[in-house]
């Protein structure tokens, strides 16, 4: 089932008035071409070529530029908003004028580089027919946005309003996929997706959300608009690479408790040797992701953890293994150091560290592999494969051999 993409392209751009002038916000120039053109090129690259632009404010600028879409390798139709309908009302009107079997809805002023094919297939296979699935973005600080809370089945449980004490969490990434049945009871007229339709879906258990680590930008404020001009071309042209995510303690080094002294590190030479052989010439990004609750519990400092990490990276470099990045989580709910004592989506099995790495390094998590030695290393992401190497912790179906780890790397296409 091939979806139709509906783009909310009628934004006024009040905070970008000095930039957009007499055109809608999605037409604001970014690196020499309208922002909306970047979105459409991204859709075409993923094979989404049936597009409905929901236009209203100064719509002629959009319609004259894109026409029927033939110059951009897509087919474009228009749903004209002749009175203010809000985001929800505009979507409802567009679906009535241009019906579909499956929809993708995008905000016309955001760019979020997710695997839209995977998200659509996941929605069709895994959520009810009358539900919508959102693409969520992980942020270490959600004060500006508020956040979206989800449970272990990726069902959205609620929305937290913007507040000064919000820490990390998921935000709405501006991408929604579903079937028309999901919005059939929303009514018509002026309404908002965010404040009227989504809360109704949450109440009925019909809203889901999956987090992604792709690059994200919202051009709605001047600082982010300037950031888009500096970064979007490079983001767009870069290839997203798979990675091998590696737990540290128990995989790369022996897990001897709270490892805080680099001179006391005992390396897993069997693993390191296998990695050097298996990954030679592969070009696979190696990323270390490690829970370090000892920081929250006062057993070590961040400097201690970083010194051990530096020792591990140096040893791997000696073997020809270049580490693309190291992420560690210092947080724990039961800590004794107030600065680090809290719940965090960075603590495995939550996916925060994976998503941060994917964003920073431009990684394709869906083609990647996580290797760990504990149940908590099974990361809560439906598209990330995991291999558990048997160690000091009892884990069902853990593999006792380093050769099994080698095979898992090869099966993911990550070896040389």
Annotated catalytic residues are 247, 249
- E-state strands within 213-342: 216-218, 243-246, 285-291, 323-329
CA dihedral 115, 120, 125, 127 (to 10 degrees): 110
Joined tokens for residue 170:
């998921």
Cis (ω within 30 of 0) for the bond into 283? no
What are the residues whose beta carbons fall under 8 Å from the beta carbon of 290, sequence distance 6 or more?
247, 248, 249, 305, 309, 326, 327, 328, 329
The answer to whether 190 and 84 have CB atoms below 8 angstroms apart is yes
Q: Which of 128, 106, 10 is nearest to 51 (CA)?
A: 106
Peptide linkage before 80 cis (omega within 30 of 0): no
Q: How far, in Å, CA of 277 to CA of 415, rounded?
A: 9
Q: At residue 140, what are phi and psi to the nearest 5 degrees? A: -70, -25
- 3-state secondary structure (DSSP) of residue 138: strand
């Amino acid at each position: 089932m091939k979806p139709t993409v509906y783009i909310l392209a009628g934004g006024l751009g009040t905070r970008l008035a000095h930039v957009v002038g007499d055109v809608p916000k999605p037409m604001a120039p970014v690196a020499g071409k309208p922002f909306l053109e970047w979105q459409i090129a991204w859709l075409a690259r993923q094979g989404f070529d049936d597009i409905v632009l929901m236009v209203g404010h100064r719509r002629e600028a959009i319609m004259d530029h894109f026409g029927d879409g033939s110059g951009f390798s897509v087919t474009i139709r228009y749903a004209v908003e002749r009175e203010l309908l809000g985001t929800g009302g505009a979507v409802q009107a567009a679906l009535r004028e241009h019906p579909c079997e499956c929809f993708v809805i995008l905000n016309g002023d955001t760019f979020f580089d997710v695997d839209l094919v995977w998200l659509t297939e996941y929605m069709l296979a895994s959520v009810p027919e009358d539900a919508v699935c959102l693409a969520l973005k992980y942020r270490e600080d959600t004060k500006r946005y508020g956040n979206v809370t989800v449970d272990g089945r990726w069902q959205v449980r609620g929305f937290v309003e913007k507040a000064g004490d919000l820490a990390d969490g998921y935000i709405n990434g501006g991408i929604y996929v579903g079937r028309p049945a999901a919005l059939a009871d929303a009514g018509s007229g002026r309404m908002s997706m965010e404040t009227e339709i989504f809360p109704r879906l949450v109440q009925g258990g019909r809203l889901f959300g999956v987090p992604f680590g792709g690059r994200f930008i919202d051009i709605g404020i001047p600082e982010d608009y300037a950031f888009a001009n500096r970064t979007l071309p490079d983001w767009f042209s870069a290839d997203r690479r798979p990675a091998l995510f590696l737990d540290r303690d128990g995989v790369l080094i022996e897990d001897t408790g709270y490892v805080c002294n680099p001179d006391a590190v005992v390396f897993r030479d069997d693993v390191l040797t296998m990695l050097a052989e298996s990954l030679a010439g592969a070009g696979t990004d190696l990323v270390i992701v490690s829970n370090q609750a000892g920081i929250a519990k006062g057993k070590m400092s961040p400097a201690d953890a970083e010194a051990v990490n530096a020792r591990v990276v140096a040893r791997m470099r000696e073997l020809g293994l270049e580490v693309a990045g190291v992420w560690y989580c210092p947080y724990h709910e039961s800590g004794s150091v107030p600065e680090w004592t809290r719940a965090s989506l960075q603590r495995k099995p939550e996916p925060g560290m994976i998503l941060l790495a994917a964003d920073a390094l431009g990684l394709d998590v869906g083609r990647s592999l996580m290797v760990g030695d504990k149940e908590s290393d099974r990361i809560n992401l439906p598209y990330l494969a995991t291999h558990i190497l048997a160690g000091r912790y009892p884990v069902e179906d853990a593999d006792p051999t380093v050769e099994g780890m080698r095979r898992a790397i090869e099966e993911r296409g990550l070896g040389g």
